Chain A
Amino acid sequence: MKGIADAVVIFFVVVGAILVLISAIGAIRLPDVYTRSHAISKSTTLGIMFILLGTCFHFFIQEGHFNSRLLLGVVFIFMTSPVAAHFISRAAYYSGVELWERTVRDDLRNQKE
């Protein structure tokens, strides 16, 4: 039973770390602000939720009660990280950061002028 619980914790933590690494690779390789914001916000949020859920499960096995602070952290990061990414890409668009030159569609172009 202990071995299964450890395996679940290890699975959650390693999958979360690999998701964060994938988003970091996206942050280096993608061409402009909006695509990088896409990579960073979604993948980092999912990875950190995996890591915090694994930690919560580990402390549930160790101490026998749910740790409400970790669940609160999961909910908070799940709510706020996409909101922050949306805010910052909107601010980048209105402050005049260029899109990638091969972008095919720009729905906000008429509102800006």
Chain B
Amino acid sequence: MTVIFNIALVILSIAMFCFLYRVVKGPSVADRVIALDAMGICLAGIVAIFSIILETSAFLEVILLIGILAFLGTVAFAKFLQKGVIIERERDR
């Protein structure tokens, strides 16, 4: 049973290497941000499979934390790409 979970970990690691290739090579900033978001989500899956292998439920908060951080980072990068600022000071509407 552990062998199959190890195979799943290897598959997820190959996927993370593919996303890392896209982060390094990607022609625009949006490519890099999307691939980085996917790497964060992939890392959450790796943590889940690790908590199955190690038979402990102590790492499950990490999944929530990684998901929230990946989402916030992506949204902040999107606002920065579109407007040049992240936090708008003057409110015009």
Contact = CB atoms under 8 A, between A and B. Distances in A.
Interface of B is mostly: helix
B71 A81 contact: yes
Contact of B44 (A13, A62, A77): A77
B48 A95 contact: no
Nearest to B33: A88
A17 B11 contact: yes
A17 B78 contact: no
Contact of A87 (B28, B29, B78): B78
A73 B44 contact: yes
B56 to A, nearest CB: 10
B interface residue count range (under 10 / 10 to 19 / 20 to 34 / 35 or more): 35 or more
Nearest to B77: A88
Nearest to B75: A87
Contact of A33 (B12, B34, B75): B34
Interface residues of A, number: 53
A77 B49 contact: no
B74 A92 contact: no
Contacts of B37: 40, 81, 84-85, 88
Nearest to A88: B78
Contacts of A27: 18-19, 22, 34-35, 38
B87 interface: no
Given A40-B37, A44-B41, A81-B71, 9 more contacts: A17-B49, A21-B15, A24-B16, A48-B42, A58-B52, A73-B67, A81-B37, A88-B78, A89-B34
Interface of A: 6, 9-10, 13-14, 16-18, 20-21, 23-25, 27-28, 33, 36-37, 40-41, 44-45, 47-48, 51-52, 54-55, 58-59, 62-63, 67, 69-70, 72-73, 76-77, 80-81, 83-85, 87-92, 94-95, 97
12 contacts: A14-B8, A17-B12, A17-B49, A21-B12, A33-B28, A63-B57, A69-B64, A76-B64, A80-B67, A87-B75, A88-B30, A97-B28
